[in-house]
Amino acid sequence: MTAALDLQGVACTFVSRHEPGQRYTAVQDVSLTVSAGEFVSVVGPTGCGKSTLLNVGAGLLEPSTGSVRVFGQTLLGINRRAGYMFQAESLMPWRTALGNVLAGLEFQGVPQAQSRARADDWLRRVGLGGFGDRYPHQMSGGMRKRVSLAQTLVLDPDILLMDEPFSALDIQTRQLMENELLALWAAKKKAVLFITHDLDEAIAMSDRVVVLSAGPGSHPIGEFVIDIPRPRDVAEVKITKRFIELHQAIWSVLRDEVLKGYQQQLQVP
Amino acid sequence: MWKFIKPRNQTLWFWQLSLLALLFAFWHVMTVPGLIPPMLFADERQAAFFFGEPLKIFVRIWAWFVRDADIYRHLGVTLTETLLAFAIGSIMGLAGGLWLALAPLASALLEPYIKAFNAMPRIILAPIFAVWFGLGMGSKVALGVTLVFFIVFFNVYQGVKEVSPVVLANARMLGASQRQLLRQVYLPSATSWVFSSLHTSVGLAFVGAVVGEYLGSSQGVGYLILQAEGSFDINTVMAGILVLTAFALVLDEGVGQIEKRLMKWQPRSGETEKL
């Protein structure tokens, strides 16, 4: 079976625009595959190039070396089969919640009546049925995240790329959204590449957790299959024995990298 | 007592009008010959000569608008020039700003020239425009356009450059083509910058029209002012200035209304409604 997303030997080197001599290799020699219907999380210390990896998978960033394959085909330009949920605010502030959810369908030329029905449906599914006419500035951070989720999922992408999508939310909203995402994922098995710095979240949600080393030149240093049975509840699963074992196992690998990453950040002038 | 008369939101307009009345009263007292003994000038008529007399100014305005009703033609000319300069300059600025912001090569090539044109005191172009476009409305519109263009241009340029990269990347991931990005992301994002510049540029369009008329024309409010100045008729000059000010305020209010309608997606302090 061909993988949904397959990164092989990917490296990304950034060159400073003002001083061409200064280079920074964010990720190096990264090989990562996500099968169709698989939920893979990537954890790592801050600044280790997790987002870089996601941008490569989305086709927003071309890797310096290495190949990216999407369902067996080499990726050129934007990854049309992927939906991307950004960490930062990504809604268009001049469009209402409904307008934002509609945007992707409009861009792709879906007939208006049909797209309207789909967008309305997705707004209801993320619990914002009555808020379609709100502008982003009129909504709370959690509501904006939910609009983003609807905006991404309404296009029914085969691959979901998520960059710490819930990191800005409070813990209660976060658990609700995590469970919601798991339910949606279970209903329509999509390939998910989920970036997070929160190990609990990674274990609770994923089939597989990949640990990245500290930058520069970070690369996968550990891979753990999460064999906790589904369906899971992200809050309840955290007190099971297997969860704690896995957490200890992954954390023992991750801890050294976190300390290393922290030391490096202190050294940077 | 003070609690009752203290300026509040509801009574603010009353106090603003009172302040205006007070200013005119002060002006009146200081200038009308023989009312108070001259303090700064040797002659009691000199204050009136230099600063005009409010009552005579209002008589003049009354005559323009009601008794002789002969200002409408001039006012119409000036306002037409203003609006034309404003519209042409804004559209050119918008198009130019979008183009240069999205074409790095052209922008790098043209950058020094744009800087030079912007740094140039463009009022000085008025005589040249008079030669090129004649003494009619054309030369005034051209002057206004050169003033308005750069204001809008720089704001649009800045607006496009400051489009949130995340919003842009998101739109691309949602499948927007280059054209759709332009219409759905760059343009709306730039309009907020344009509107912040429109208040300035409508004023500058007015400046272009009036200065153009002042330098050479046969009609318009600027022409009226020039004529009056030629005969040391300070009251008419002041009347012209008051009329221009009033209409500049009206234009500014018009822009404000359009802005309110088009920019309702933008948060305003105090209006933000969180759930």
Contact state of A107 with B174 under an 8 Å Cβ cutoff: yes
Q: Once rounded to an integer, what is the mean pLDDT over residues A88-99?
A: 91
Question: Residues B198, B78: one domain?
Answer: yes
* B166 vs A86, A94, A134: nearest CB: A86
Gap between the Cα atoms of A35 and A190, Å rounded: 9
Question: Residues B118, B244: one domain?
Answer: yes
What was the pLDDT predicted at B47? 80
* Number of domains, chain B: 2
Contact state of A103 with B185 under an 8 Å Cβ cutoff: no
Gap between the Cα atoms of A87 and A79, Å rounded: 18
User: Does pLDDT of A97 surpass 90?
Assistant: yes
Question: Residues B118, B195: one domain?
Answer: yes
Q: Specify the range with the lowest mean pLDDT, choosing from A130-139, A164-173, A198-207, B10-19.
A: A164-173
Q: Specify the range with the lowest mean pLDDT, choosing from A125-129, A165-169, A265-269.
A: A265-269
CA distance A179 to chain B (A): 22
- DSSP secondary structure code for residue A37 in this structure: T
Tens digits of per-residue pLDDT, A59-89?
998 898 989 999 988 988 889 899 999 988 8
Question: Residues B122, B243: one domain?
Answer: yes
Contact state of B264 with A155 under an 8 Å Cβ cutoff: no
Does the residue B18 lie in any domain?
A: yes
What was the pLDDT predicted at B269? 53
What's the distance, CA B84 to chain centroid? 13
User: Does pLDDT of B104 surpass 80?
Assistant: yes
Please report which confidence band the pLDDT of residue B20 belongs to, taking 50, 70 and 90 as the band edges: very high
For chain A, give the number of residues: 269
Cβ contacts of A63 within 8 Å, gap of 6 or more: A7, A10, A11, A12, A56
Does the residue B267 lie in any domain?
A: no
Q: CA nearest A136 in B: which residue?
A: B265
A32-196+218-245 falls under which CATH superfamily?
P-loop containing nucleotide triphosphate hydrolases (3.40.50.300)
Question: Residues B185, B250: one domain?
Answer: yes
SS (H, E, C) chain B: CHHHHCCCCCCHHHHHHHHHHHHHHHHHHHHCCCCCCCCCCCCCCHHHHHHCCHHHHHHHHHHHHHHCCCCHHHHHHHHHHHHHHHHHHHHHHHHHHHHHHHCHHHHHHHHHHHHHHHHCCHHHHHHHHHHHHCCCHHHHHHHHHHHHHHHHHHHHHHHHHCCCHHHHHHHHHCCCCHHHHHHHHHHHHHHHHHHHHHHHHHHHHHHHHHHHHHHCCCCCHHHHHHHHHHCCCHHHHHHHHHHHHHHHHHHHHHHHHHHHHHCCCCCCCCCCCCC
Gap between the Cα atoms of B180 and B150, Å rounded: 26
Which residues are bridge partners to A224 per DSSP?
A209
Contact state of A143 with B184 under an 8 Å Cβ cutoff: no
* B274 vs A80, A94, A140: nearest CB: A140
CA distance B186 to chain A (A): 11
What was the pLDDT predicted at B271? 46
Mean of all residue pLDDT scores within chain A: 88
Q: CA nearest A83 in B: which residue?
A: B173
- DSSP secondary structure code for residue A229 in this structure: P
CATH, residue B126: 1.10.3720.10
- Terminal-to-terminal C-alpha distance of chain B: 41
User: Does pLDDT of A162 surpass 90?
Assistant: yes
SS3 A167: coil
Among chain A, residues having any CB pair with chain B shorter than 8 Å are 58, 60, 78-80, 82-84, 86, 88-96, 103-104, 106-108, 131, 134-140, 143, 151, 155
Q: Which domain holds residue B38?
A: 2-51
Question: Residues B125, B28: one domain?
Answer: no
What was the pLDDT predicted at B173? 92
Residues from chain A contacting residue B175 (CB–CB below 8 Å): 78, 80, 104, 107-108, 155
